[in-house]
Amino acid sequence: MFNKSMKTLLTCELFKGMNSAELISVLTCLNPKVYSYKRSELVAMEGDQLTGLGIVLAGDVVITRENAVGSRIIIATNGPGGMFGEIAAFAGNYIWSDTIIAREACKVMFLPGEKIVGSCENACVSHKLMIANILKIISLKALMLNKKIDYLVIKSMRGKVCAYLLEQFKKQGKQTFVMPLKRNELADFLNVSRPSLSREMGKLRDEGVIEFHRASIKIKDLNTLKTLAE
């Protein structure tokens, strides 16, 4: 069980390039804390004081943000090896900028932010590597946010749905695939209402562009889909 977590951690971008021994040495230095959460449980709350950098060891979490009115948006989802709270932790902004919720039973490791960026005597070699990793992580995060903006800028329901389906197709490499998000999650991800999303998907189905049942989707007319995605 502990070994399983170690394997997951070795796949984490933060520890990239390290072997087991180095990882253990770094970890003992960083004083990590592991917590478990049940399905739908709150892992972190937007605005609260930062617990630290979060690394998912098992399960799935959703990174969301909500405004005063109550409409929420899904920024991303994270499986094992995924991180959250990087920006706040590395930027020294010790407040959660997002709300994190467990999609299912999951286990999360927290690393205190100050320790990561600050210097450390015990694991200096690995620490230098970590700084390089951090630079890459933040850059990738920024690129991800850029992409997120691209989604939000699309104005029509149809454009959003098609752009999303097209990206899933590119990511999964098959025209028949399972959607990683439930309908209301997808609605929150695209920043639209669920009934409107279902309505549009129904239209696309009627027009013969796609076919679907619940989470499984089949792209029937890829070319049309590409056109519609702008």
Contacting range for a copy of itself; rule: CB under 8 A; set: 100-108, 130-138, 176-184, 214-222: 130-138
Ranges of H-type helices in the chain = 2-11, 20-30, 86-91, 113-117, 124-153, 157-172, 183-190, 194-206, 222-228
From the list a copy of itself, DNA, none, partner contacted by residue 202 (C-beta under 5 to 8 A by kind): DNA
Residue 21 lies near a copy of itself (rule: CB under 8 A): no
Binders of a copy of itself among residues 110 to 129 (CB under 8 A) are: none
From the list DNA, a copy of itself, none, partner contacted by residue 183 (C-beta under 5 to 8 A by kind): DNA
In whole angstroms, the minimum distance from the beta carbon of 226 to a copy of itself comes to 10
Phi, psi of 96 (to 5 degrees): -65, 125
Q: How far apart are the first and last CA of the chain?
A: 47
Binders of DNA among residues 136 to 155 (CB under 7 A) are: 155
Residue 90 lies near a copy of itself (rule: CB under 8 A): yes
Could you tell me which residues come within 8 angstroms of residue 105 by beta carbon, excluding any fewer than 6 positions away? 36, 37, 38, 39, 59
Half-sphere exposure of 34 (CA within 13 A, CB side): 11
In whole angstroms, the minimum distance from the beta carbon of 170 to a copy of itself comes to 16
The one-letter amino acid code at 136 reads K
Binders of DNA among residues 35 to 54 (CB under 7 A) are: 39
Whether 82 and 121 have beta carbons less than 8 Å apart is answered as: no
Applying CB under 8 A, among 34, 42, 45, 143 the residue interacting with a copy of itself is 143
Binders of DNA among residues 97 to 126 (CB under 7 A) are: none
* Total Cβ atoms within 10 A of residue 93: 13
Residue 34 lies near a copy of itself (rule: CB under 8 A): no
Whether 6 and 32 have beta carbons less than 8 Å apart is answered as: no
Closest CA to 114 of 30, 55, 43: 30
Applying CB under 8 A, among 6, 24, 29, 138 the residue interacting with a copy of itself is 138
By beta-carbon proximity to a copy of itself, the closer residue of 207 and 230 is 230
Residues that bind a copy of itself (CB under 8 A): 65, 67-69, 71, 73, 75, 87, 90-93, 97, 131, 134-136, 138-143, 145-146, 148-150, 152-155, 159, 191, 230
